[in-house]
Amino acid sequence: MSLNSMVIYARSSELNPLFNFLLAGLIYLSPAFAVNQKDSISFQFNDIPLRTGLKILIDDYRMVIAFPDNIGDIPLTAECESCSQKDAIISILSRLNLIWKLSGNQYTIFNPTEPFRFSVSGRAMDKTTGEPIPFANVFIPELMVGDISRQDGSFSISNISVKSCTLNISYIGYEIKKTVLLFPKDEKNFMEIFIAPKVLSTETVSITGATREFMDRSNSPGQISFSPRHISTLPNLGEVDIFRSLQMLPGIQLGIGGSSGLYIRGGTPDQNLILLDGMPIYQTDHLFGFVSGVNANSIKDVQVYKGGMPSRYGGRISSVIELTSRNGNSLSPHGSVYGNLMSQGLTGELPILSRGNWIFNIRSSTTSSFQTELYRSIQDYVTGDDNFNLIGESANSEKNQKSIYLPQFSYFDFTNHFSYMATPNHRFTFTNTTGRDSIQENREFYGFSNFLLFDSFYTEGITELKNNGSAFNLSSHWNHESNTQFSFSNYTYESAYDSKSSAEKNTELLSLGSIHEKNSLEDKSLKLHHRYKGSENHIIESGIDETFYHVQFNNRKTDGLDSNESFIEQKGFLHSFYLQDQWTPSRNWTIQTGLRMSYYSERMGFYTSPRISVINKMLSNITLEASMGKQVQFIHQLVGDKTTRGTQGMWVLSTDNIPNTASVNTHFGLNWDFGDYSLNNEFYHRNMIDLVKFGESTIPIVAMNKKDASESPL
């Protein structure tokens, strides 16, 4: 910068030399007085020219300041109380895109030669409970840049080109929090920003015209953010149900018979990847689909990917449903007891040293003495699906035929979540979920010797479904550019069916036979995910997934003196690596490209899954989006008309006889927001390859050992 463009101001002196000499001596003898003058600068400027503010510092506080003449008319708003000269300069320039340096006693102010590159990191948290808020929208409107908070609530924004801006944080059902950022001061701190939940009531008793927020669109094509906070006000079948509520979204259909299974864009429930804190879960319901196995009281956030799936997700071909557990109240203990037509439960929240929390939820089905007509109707529907019911319905009292059917159904689940913030940048969580379903069916038939060969015939059957899963997550925020998430999970699912038949002959009880079927699935997963934002306009994500599958099936049948037993076991390793780049070439365009590569041990092959998505913000309220990607599935659920209670819902692995299923999904959408309304038009196309069906399989051993699983492209 040339000297001709600089203006140097210093306070002039017209005192006579003798007085100046005496004054200098006085200052020399009183250094404390001089220091006090330098450290006692006070001012309050409100929208005045920068030149005027600097002149006040020069004239009133003996400061020597040089600055370019062309910045003198910049509006200035600043205040300072008993500041030093350095703090006064910092305060004046805190909101201006100018920099300064000190040479001797002269402060020089000038325009930067390179653009600013500031960064900010922090965590979005609930003001009332202190728990992190995942998938919150973090945005700087002046620059049109932002981020989405991760599961631990952390966020980071890099390449901020101004020294002062406003950070907006919003989330479904919460007030928008606006925070003023001043750099470089705020760049050094990891910020914890608390946002308050919206109150759905007024000072009066009645509640009218309150907008209830349940979902919002996210930054990926076909992605929907869903908050369980208000779903209790939606219609439900006696039980608040997350999956049943998701069926109200476009592109998601009701399950058969009104069950909670999700059929997303032509897919089946087993083609949905459902994650709880990063852990794949396979048993997601009770009452064979009528009640969700995921307790809504334990869930903070739901993300549904029915369009463009990010490369970090794999193993299913239809959709991804990511559930994030509540962290609970870290400020004070809380508890609640609840009940409805289907179940009753208990929820508790206990803080841990104000840095963590333990939250648990226990739920069990309504006991037999309090079972409602709704409960019994569902129970009869679930259990009344075999040939014995047809025999009972044909009973003729004139022929002394009678049947007695005594079903008993119960379910139970327990979820607990432990979270702790070791440091502001490192947080770990532990999640455990356990569920159990039990159905007992006792039948008695009298007078059906023409069908059953005996006048008195008895059957006793019991079906038990069990699942247990644990997940450990460690989130580390290294700096403004990098963060890492490590997770390990272990999930087991087990289904067992035992039945025995007996008959009465000449007052003697004869054992006719028995059936024992048991299948189990174990999924052990190790994941490492890294996110890097150091490159301008690029967010690079990479990671590895290691999954071990273990499937077992045991079938034992006895018929009189004959006995037949079979056993099969499957083991498979799935190794995956992914790389993804989100590029923002301009404020209106976002392009995301990714590649996922997998190696599956049972078929000894490599599989690639390229993916791309594009979002164009045509206008402030109109967005155009498109995506295309390939997904591969290596595990399938045994579903068919000939399955038994012991094999219903069983999972089997792809082998040389059972192919992998692949799908190429294409999505195109146009979103238009106007006022409180949103119009979404979406078009999709799916091309499924080697679709596996087990329609002719009576037991999984047949499907696993013979190539009779139908393969048909759709």
DSSP assignment, residue 295?
B
User: Could you give the CA distance from residue 531 to residue 310 in angstroms, rounded to a whole number?
Assistant: 13
Q: What is the CA 661 to chain-centroid distance, rounded?
A: 26
Q: State which H helix or E strand residue 702 sits in.
A: helix 700-705
**Residue count of the chain:** 714
SS3 category, 13 = coil
pLDDT at position 109 is 85
**Range 453-457 contact pairs with CB under 8 angstroms and sequence separation of 24 or more:** 453/503, 454/503, 454/504, 454/505, 455/504, 456/503, 456/504, 457/501, 457/502, 457/503
- Asked if 615 contacts 589 with a C-beta cutoff of 8 angstroms, the reply is yes
Burial profile 8-46: b = 16 or more Cβ within 10 angstroms, e = fewer: ebeeeeeeeeeeeeeeeeeeeeeeeeeeeebeebebebe
Domain boundary among 110, 135, 151: 110
Residues near 660 by beta carbon (within 8 Å), at least 6 away in sequence? 600, 603, 607, 632, 633, 634, 654, 690
Domain boundary among 48, 76, 110: 110
pLDDT at position 29 is 41
**Amino acid of residue 100:** W
CATH code (residue 354): 2.40.170
User: Could you give the CA distance from residue 204 to residue 185 in angstroms, rounded to a whole number?
Assistant: 44
Q: State which H helix or E strand residue 108 sits in.
A: strand 106-110
- Asked if 166 contacts 178 with a C-beta cutoff of 8 angstroms, the reply is yes
- Which whole-number Å values give the CA distances from 686 to 320, 610, 651, 658, in the listed order? 15, 15, 23, 21
CATH code (residue 162): 2.60.40.1120
pLDDT at position 27 is 40
Please check whether residues 441 and 575 belong to one and the same domain: yes
pLDDT at position 412 is 92
Does residue 71 fall inside a structural domain? yes
Does residue 79 fall inside a structural domain? yes
Residues near 366 by beta carbon (within 8 Å), at least 6 away in sequence? 341, 342, 343, 344, 372, 375
Please check whether residues 409 and 298 belong to one and the same domain: yes
Instruction: With a cut of 70, list the residues of the chain below it in pLDDT.
Output: 1-39, 72, 199-219, 230-239, 254-260, 367-401, 447-452, 640-643, 695-714
Does residue 125 fall inside a structural domain? yes
Planar angle of CA 182, 49, 47, nearest 5 degrees: 60
Please check whether residues 591 and 490 belong to one and the same domain: yes
Residue 679: give the domain boundaries. 223-712
Please check whether residues 394 and 442 belong to one and the same domain: yes
Please check whether residues 74 and 177 belong to one and the same domain: no
Q: How do 605-619 and 622-633 pair as beta strands? A: antiparallel
> What domain count does the chain have?
3
Domain boundary among 56, 87, 110: 110
SS3 category, 660 = coil
CATH code (residue 67): 3.55.50.30
Please check whether residues 158 and 232 belong to one and the same domain: no
Residue with tokens 């005996």: 454
Does residue 35 fall inside a structural domain? yes
Does residue 209 fall inside a structural domain? no
Burial profile 259-291: b = 16 or more Cβ within 10 angstroms, e = fewer: bbbbbbbebbbbbbbbbbbbbbbbbbbbbbbbb
Residue with tokens 């390990």: 488
Please check whether residues 103 and 127 belong to one and the same domain: no
Query: Which residue, among 279, 230, 283, has the nearest Cα to 260 in the 3D structure?
Result: 283
pLDDT at position 343 is 82
Q: State which H helix or E strand residue 129 sits in.
A: none
- Asked if 143 contacts 188 with a C-beta cutoff of 8 angstroms, the reply is no
Does residue 216 fall inside a structural domain? no
DSSP assignment, residue 389?
H
pLDDT at position 608 is 95
Does residue 204 fall inside a structural domain? no
Q: State both tokens at 106.
A: 């002269």
Does residue 395 fall inside a structural domain? yes
Please check whether residues 341 and 432 belong to one and the same domain: yes
Using one digit for the tens of pLDDT, what is the confidence trace for 619-639? Answer: 878 899 999 999 999 999 887
pTM of the model: 0.80
User: Could you give the CA distance from residue 268 to residue 714 in angstroms, rounded to a whole number?
Assistant: 13
Quick one: 369 exposed, middle or buried, by C-beta within 10 A (0-12, 13-18, 19+)? exposed
pLDDT at position 202 is 41
Please check whether residues 91 and 127 belong to one and the same domain: no
- Asked if 109 contacts 98 with a C-beta cutoff of 8 angstroms, the reply is yes
- Asked if 70 contacts 64 with a C-beta cutoff of 8 angstroms, the reply is no
CB atoms within 10 A of CB 463: 22
Please check whether residues 455 and 557 belong to one and the same domain: yes
Q: State both tokens at 513.
A: 């036979």
pLDDT at position 18 is 46
User: 31-38 and 17-29 are packed helices; what angle lies between their axes, rounded to 10 degrees?
Assistant: 90
pLDDT at position 234 is 62
Please check whether residues 50 and 137 belong to one and the same domain: no
User: Could you give the CA distance from residue 315 to residue 10 in angstroms, rounded to a whole number?
Assistant: 72
Please check whether residues 73 and 154 belong to one and the same domain: no
Planar angle of CA 298, 135, 194, nearest 5 degrees: 85
pLDDT at position 417 is 94
SS3 category, 182 = strand
